[in-house]
Chains A and B, each alone.
Chain A
Amino acid sequence: MEQLVEYLLVGARWALPVLAVWVLARCVWSMLRERYEPEVWAWLEASDGSRAALRHWECILGRSKRCDIPVARDDVQSTHAVFVRSDKGRWTLYDLSGGKTSSGIRTDTGEGMELRDGETVQFGGQTMTFHDLSEAERAAEEERRSVPGTLLSQGGTLLLLSIFQVLLTLELVQVLSGEAQTQTALGFAFLILLEWCCYLLMRAFDRSGYELETVAFFLCSLGLAVSASSTPEDMPKQIVLLVAGVALYLILGLWLRNLRRSKAFRWPIAGTAIVFLILNVALGVRTNGAVNWLDIGPFRLQPSEFVKLAYIYVGATSLDRLYRRRNLFLFIGFSAAIVGALALIGDFGAALIFFVTFLVISFMRSGSFATVFLAVAGAGLAGFLVLTVKPYVAQRFAAWGHVWADPYGAGWQQTRALSAAASGGLTGVGAGQGWLHKVFAADTDMVFCLVSEELGLIVALCAVLAVAALAVFAVRSAARGRSSFYVIAACSAASMLVTQLALNVFGSTDILPFTGVTFPFVSKGGSSLISCWGLLAFLKAADTRQNASFSVKLAARRRAGESGEDEVTSNK
């Protein structure tokens, strides 16, 4: 028996990296190789009989070739009008031309004109007839689209992940003892249970896409392993937080299904976020220079983590509002308020994450590099001010690139992180057998190196690539996105995760200055874990592959909902 366990452990050293690569490769393959076919929602017929498809829920008509429906006429403006489809299947036409669309759309109020099948609208001198898709056409359209999971079995990938987790548990249990041993084993058992429950739930709802969740659960199992080696006594807490994160993911995902409702709540959410930050500034607990904690009863919250969700939510917008200045100014004001509050709190890393996300959102909204450069210049000045005012931030910048010159001072954390990571080699010294976890903040700020030490560089790189894959997935989904709300939300959520990851990994490895942010899903810390699951919901909501996402209504059920008066929500 002893012998068998030993063989298994030696095997696990090798099996873990192999399984990690395998799981990740399957997820990436499935996300990126699956067919993302265009959808057709309605047709526009010109007077000469040519037809143009409305392929999204929001389509722009204009002279510019980059419009969804280009109309090459001098009397049509470059961005002339927007067609918007509601969840209920009603189409509205908004004018952006300043009154050159006929049929009496009031342009000043921003209210649109409802379009009915067969209605004729005039754009400049061009007359076009609107054709909604008939029931039969819609059914044929959906029949044509393929369902994900046909390329690779999602359950198979999850099974591989479960084997990975079991081997990881085995390694940890060998090292730990007493209560920590039991709790770790129970923790992982619960994780496996949770991921299979989620999987079965998805299947029960006829949803076939499970790559995002698999990637997230892979990262969470690394997080649990980190927790087991650094603070095994916190295992039950970590599991509770994980459940809370998954719950938030499901709730937010379901909430985002309804575009109209989602949009309606943007500003109330923005207000709540600001209140959160004001409370933080006023009542925050000071830790390592930053006052980014808020104690509420027995819980210690990091408000900036939840503000991330609000920020993505508020930053995303649909096309009909995109071209209104007031909307953009409000968003810029909101961004400035958040970054300002974070500067006051002294959370430089979080401020940086928000700033990069701001750049992505404002670029996606305006498409203007000029705006982005202006923002960068402004932030550069602000950053300079922060550096001059906050000495501990300046100190970290000064150590950047020279950590080995001062391994007992400014380079304390990075040198230890690098040394431990190198000791791990490609396959690691074994889960729970490293020493980096004894160094302060190793399980949060330096978690990449901690994983690299204990599980090896290959697994650590898998974790990085997993997050990068999420970004690629978001961009691919964007191509078939229905509303710009979902596309902007998914891309900015992915950007936020990638930025956070980059600051974490590169900060601890001295490729960037050390900013002390968390590794998505892996770093220990409740607020961060929960908010990462929340961000994942934005990605899930943009997944328009046929029947892939629980956050997108099923085609058949949607049709049923559209025929009735009220919207049918997920009561199944």
Chain B
Amino acid sequence: MKRIKTRAWAALILAAALLFGTGVYVWRFAVNGRYWVGFSANESVYQNGALAVGVVTDRNGVVLADVKDGARVYADGAETRIACLHAVGDAAGNIGTGALSAFSDRLSGYSLFSGASGKGGSVTLSIDAELNRCAWEALSGRSGAVLVSNYETGEVLCMVSSPSYDPNVGFDAEDPAYEGVYLNRALSAVYTPGSVFKLLTIAAAIERVDDLYTRTFFCDGSREVNGHILTCSGVHGSQTIEQALANSCNCAFAELSLELGAKTLEQYADKLGFTRQHSLSGVYTAIGSIYAGEEGSAELAWSGIGQAADVICPAALLRYVSAIAGDGVLREPSLVLGESGGRTRLLSADTAEKIKAMMNYNVVSSYGEWRFPGLTKLCAKTGTAEVGDGTSHAWFAGFLDDPERPYAFVVVIEHGGGGLSAASPVANQVLQKLVEENNK
């Protein structure tokens, strides 16, 4: 009997396996429960696949999405609904980055303790619906994205993606104007950066090129690299590095790119977050990619000026300009009011200071402060990204170097033309609105 008694432990091994498996389940339950609840077949919080509970408001308490009599209702005013569509999302969950999908766990009122009680929760977004409306108007139907954030707190104040539609009306799926309408271009799209990419190249140059500030960059309108002709936007002659950036001189930046090398550029793109995925309050951004080609090649020269195969996500650029504004330290952007992201150092304080000075010099010497009345200490960079079909994406990114008005912004307009002519007025319009509200 002694032997049989000992062998009875076999049954205990099974019981131990049962307890172990149960432990695994409980752990998963605790960690993943919030995501399980957000499954659209969960009738505790969804009806016919649409989230049937939860309120979404903007930072001022304007209700952007609510439930009345079991049905989802949106903000009052078609303009507001359209401008906030991508931030709020749609009931059917087609806009995966919208609050109704991305924050379904909070909206379901989920807590580990009481599950999804059925009454639902609420989410207060960091965006300002009025500002979104202003940005939507400024885009005036052109496709693209506008992002404005407070770089001190990380809160995204304005996030608009175009094309958009009124969720109360819907849209004509056959109409090519609505192509990719579910995509939040601010977070989920990548574009050729064009000259805004020079902000990255300049960071590498400041840290790696010893005689950067004493060198003279000569531009006669084009430059031959490895048998290819690289053209410039003008004939800039002899320039300092500040002037080269203000002129957005391709010749000067091709020279720097070739000198820095492909590895360095790719390394900086990674370090500065352009080729990484970022989370804004749990909403993930698209990942950019940089292909800097072989050492000494024309591809490398093009890559350093934001052309060739380079693509970046607008949100990644917002992070970068926020870091420059914050003396090299970035407050990670967030979409939910009061939930500040962590701090990340992207640049040394010295490098950030130098880039900041140059970006301000861009505005003062090249773009013209008269374009941005009242926006003192504006630091910015334009981009006109050739996309191969003869058109260009227009970019304008930067920030106000003003502790009273710590705003960072990125504007991109698809096939919009010149950065200064097309994108900067949109940024100006939104910033003016923001400053005006600030002054109240």
Q: Considering the chains assembled together, what is the distance between the CA atoms of A511 and B17 in angstroms?
A: 12
What mask results when residues 338 to 358 of chain B are scored 1 for a CB within 8 Å of chain A, else 0? Answer: 000000000000000000000
Stretch of B110-118, B150-158, B368-376, B414-422 lying at the A interface: B110-118
Q: Considering the chains assembled together, what is the distance between the CA atoms of A213 and B7 in angstroms?
A: 26
Q: Considering the chains assembled together, what is the distance between the CA atoms of A464 and B113 in angstroms?
A: 19
- Asked if residues A363 and B14 are in contact (CB atoms below 8 Å), the reply is no
Query: Does A532 belong to the interface (CB within 8 Å)?
Result: no
Query: CB-CB < 8 A to A418: which residues of B?
Result: 32, 36, 39
- Asked if residues A484 and B29 are in contact (CB atoms below 8 Å), the reply is no
- Asked if residues A420 and B42 are in contact (CB atoms below 8 Å), the reply is yes
- Asked if residues B14 and A511 are in contact (CB atoms below 8 Å), the reply is no
Query: Does A59 belong to the interface (CB within 8 Å)?
Result: yes
- Asked if residues B37 and A363 are in contact (CB atoms below 8 Å), the reply is no
Total residue contacts A-B, CB cutoff 8 A: 166
Tell which of A428, A472, A481, A488 touches B12, judged by Cβ atoms closer than 8 Å: A472
| Closest chain A CB from B368 CB (angstroms) | 53
| Closest chain A CB from B381 CB (angstroms) | 42
What mask results when residues 164 to 190 of chain B are scored 1 for a CB within 8 Å of chain A, else 0? Answer: 000000000000000000000000000
Tell which of B24, B28, B39, B116 touches A407, judged by Cβ atoms closer than 8 Å: B39
- Asked if residues A422 and B115 are in contact (CB atoms below 8 Å), the reply is yes
Residue of B nearest to A55 (CB): B1
Residue of A nearest to B15 (CB): A471
Knowing A68-B2, A422-B33, A509-B25, the reply to whether A491 touches B10 (Cβ < 8 A) is: yes
Query: CB-CB < 8 A to A438: which residues of B?
Result: 43
- Asked if residues A471 and B36 are in contact (CB atoms below 8 Å), the reply is no
Residue of A nearest to B46 (CB): A419
Query: Does B366 belong to the interface (CB within 8 Å)?
Result: no
Query: CB-CB < 8 A to A456: which residues of B?
Result: 115
Query: Does B8 belong to the interface (CB within 8 Å)?
Result: yes
Query: Does B21 belong to the interface (CB within 8 Å)?
Result: yes
- Asked if residues A471 and B14 are in contact (CB atoms below 8 Å), the reply is yes
Query: CB-CB < 8 A to B438: which residues of A?
Result: none
Knowing A422-B34, A424-B115, A471-B15, the reply to whether A429 touches B7 (Cβ < 8 A) is: no
Q: Considering the chains assembled together, what is the distance between the CA atoms of A342 and B30 in angstroms?
A: 37
Stretch of A27-35, A119-127, A156-164, A492-500 lying at the B interface: A492-500
Knowing A422-B34, A422-B36, A501-B18, the reply to whether A475 touches B12 (Cβ < 8 A) is: yes
Query: CB-CB < 8 A to A495: which residues of B?
Result: 10-11, 14
Query: Does A442 belong to the interface (CB within 8 Å)?
Result: no
Number of residues in B with C-beta < 8 Å to the partner?
45
- Asked if residues B25 and A505 are in contact (CB atoms below 8 Å), the reply is yes
**B-side binding surface: helix, strand, loop or mixed?**
helix
Residue of A nearest to B8 (CB): A478
- Asked if residues A360 and B2 are in contact (CB atoms below 8 Å), the reply is no
Within B100-154, the residues touching A (CB, 8 Å) are 108, 110-118
Knowing A422-B110, A426-B115, the reply to whether A479 touches B26 (Cβ < 8 A) is: no
| Closest chain A CB from B146 CB (angstroms) | 34
- Asked if residues B10 and A419 are in contact (CB atoms below 8 Å), the reply is no
Query: Does A468 belong to the interface (CB within 8 Å)?
Result: yes
Knowing A66-B2, A471-B12, A484-B4, the reply to whether A419 touches B39 (Cβ < 8 A) is: yes
Query: Does A255 belong to the interface (CB within 8 Å)?
Result: no
Q: Considering the chains assembled together, what is the distance between the CA atoms of A478 and B5 in angstroms?
A: 6
Knowing A505-B22, A511-B24, the reply to whether A468 touches B15 (Cβ < 8 A) is: yes
| Closest chain B CB from A461 CB (angstroms) | 7
What mask results when residues 35 to 47 of chain B are scored 1 for a CB within 8 Å of chain A, else 0? Answer: 0110101111100
Residue of A nearest to B6 (CB): A66
Within A432-471, the residues touching B (CB, 8 Å) are 434-435, 438, 453, 456-457, 461, 464-465, 467-468, 471
Q: Considering the chains assembled together, what is the distance between the CA atoms of A293 and B21 in angstroms?
A: 30
Q: Considering the chains assembled together, what is the distance between the CA atoms of A60 and B1 in angstroms?
A: 7
Tell which of A59, A428, A453, A491 touches B11, judged by Cβ atoms closer than 8 Å: A491
Knowing A360-B10, A468-B19, A472-B12, the reply to whether A423 touches B5 (Cβ < 8 A) is: no
Query: Does A364 belong to the interface (CB within 8 Å)?
Result: yes
| Closest chain A CB from B52 CB (angstroms) | 12
Chain A CB within 10 A, most for which of B10, B45, B108: B10
Knowing A475-B12, A487-B8, the reply to whether A426 touches B41 (Cβ < 8 A) is: no
Residue of A nearest to B118 (CB): A429
Q: Considering the chains assembled together, what is the distance between the CA atoms of A465 and B15 in angstroms?
A: 9
Query: CB-CB < 8 A to B3: which residues of A?
Result: 60, 66-67, 367
Tell which of A56, A415, A421, A501 touches B1, judged by Cβ atoms closer than 8 Å: A56
Tell which of B9, B12, B37 touches A423, judged by Cβ atoms closer than 8 Å: B37
Query: Does A221 belong to the interface (CB within 8 Å)?
Result: no
Knowing A360-B10, A461-B26, the reply to whether A426 touches B44 (Cβ < 8 A) is: no
Q: Considering the chains assembled together, what is the distance between the CA atoms of A453 and B33 in angstroms?
A: 12
Query: Does A58 belong to the interface (CB within 8 Å)?
Result: yes
Q: Considering the chains assembled together, what is the distance between the CA atoms of A485 and B345 in angstroms?
A: 71
**A-side binding surface: helix, strand, loop or mixed?**
helix
- Asked if residues B41 and A419 are in contact (CB atoms below 8 Å), the reply is yes
Query: CB-CB < 8 A to A55: which residues of B?
Result: 1
Query: CB-CB < 8 A to A472: which residues of B?
Result: 12, 15
Tell which of B14, B21, B29, B41 touches A422, judged by Cβ atoms closer than 8 Å: B29
Query: CB-CB < 8 A to B108: which residues of A?
Result: 423
Query: CB-CB < 8 A to B114: which residues of A?
Result: 425-427
| Closest chain B CB from A372 CB (angstroms) | 9
Knowing A495-B14, A498-B15, A505-B22, the reply to whether A423 touches B8 (Cβ < 8 A) is: no
Q: Considering the chains assembled together, what is the distance between the CA atoms of A365 and B391 in angstroms?
A: 82
- Asked if residues B18 and A416 are in contact (CB atoms below 8 Å), the reply is no
Tell which of A319, A356, A415, A488 touches B39, judged by Cβ atoms closer than 8 Å: A415
Query: Does A474 belong to the interface (CB within 8 Å)?
Result: yes
| Closest chain A CB from B359 CB (angstroms) | 44
- Asked if residues A464 and B4 are in contact (CB atoms below 8 Å), the reply is no
Query: CB-CB < 8 A to A499: which residues of B?
Result: 14
Q: Considering the chains assembled together, what is the distance between the CA atoms of A290 and B14 in angstroms?
A: 26
Query: Does A22 belong to the interface (CB within 8 Å)?
Result: no
Residue of A nearest to B33 (CB): A422
What mask results when residues 485 to 521 of chain A are scored 1 for a CB within 8 Å of chain B, else 0? Answer: 0011001101100110110011001011000000000
Within A510-542, the residues touching B (CB, 8 Å) are 511-512
Tell which of B24, B26, B29, B41 touches A416, judged by Cβ atoms closer than 8 Å: B41
What mask results when residues 223 to 264 of chain B are scored 1 for a CB within 8 Å of chain A, else 0? Answer: 000000000000000000000000000000000000000000
Chain A CB within 10 A, most for which of B11, B41, B45: B11
What mask results when residues 189 to 227 of chain A are scored 1 for a CB within 8 Å of chain B, else 0? Answer: 000000000000000000000000000000000000000
- Asked if residues A423 and B21 are in contact (CB atoms below 8 Å), the reply is no
Chain A CB within 10 A, most for which of B14, B18, B39, B117: B14
Q: Considering the chains assembled together, what is the distance between the CA atoms of A426 and B117 in angstroms?
A: 11
What mask results when residues 395 to 427 of chain A are scored 1 for a CB within 8 Å of chain B, else 0? Answer: 000000000000100000001101111111111
Query: CB-CB < 8 A to A428: which residues of B?
Result: 115
Tell which of B4, B26, B110, B115 touches A478, judged by Cβ atoms closer than 8 Å: B4
9 pairs from A and B in contact (CB 8 Å cutoff) = A360-B11, A419-B37, A422-B110, A423-B116, A468-B15, A475-B8, A484-B4, A498-B11, A511-B24
Additional A-B contacts beyond A415-B36, A420-B42, A465-B19 (20; CB < 8 A): A56-B1, A364-B4, A367-B7, A419-B36, A422-B37, A423-B42, A423-B115, A425-B110, A426-B112, A426-B114, A429-B44, A429-B115, A435-B42, A457-B29, A475-B11, A479-B8, A492-B11, A499-B14, A501-B18, A502-B17
Chain A interface (Cβ < 8 Å from any Cβ of B): 55-56, 58-60, 66-68, 319, 356, 359-360, 363-364, 367, 407, 415-416, 418-429, 434-435, 438, 453, 456-457, 461, 464-465, 467-468, 471-472, 474-475, 478-479, 481, 484, 487-488, 491-492, 494-495, 498-499, 501-502, 505-506, 509, 511-512
Chain B interface (Cβ < 8 Å from any Cβ of A): 1-12, 14-15, 17-19, 21-22, 24-26, 28-29, 32-34, 36-37, 39, 41-45, 108, 110-118
Question: Lowest 8 A-B CB distances belong to which pairs?
Answer: A425-B115, A435-B43, A478-B8, A422-B33, A422-B36, A471-B15, A56-B1, A423-B44
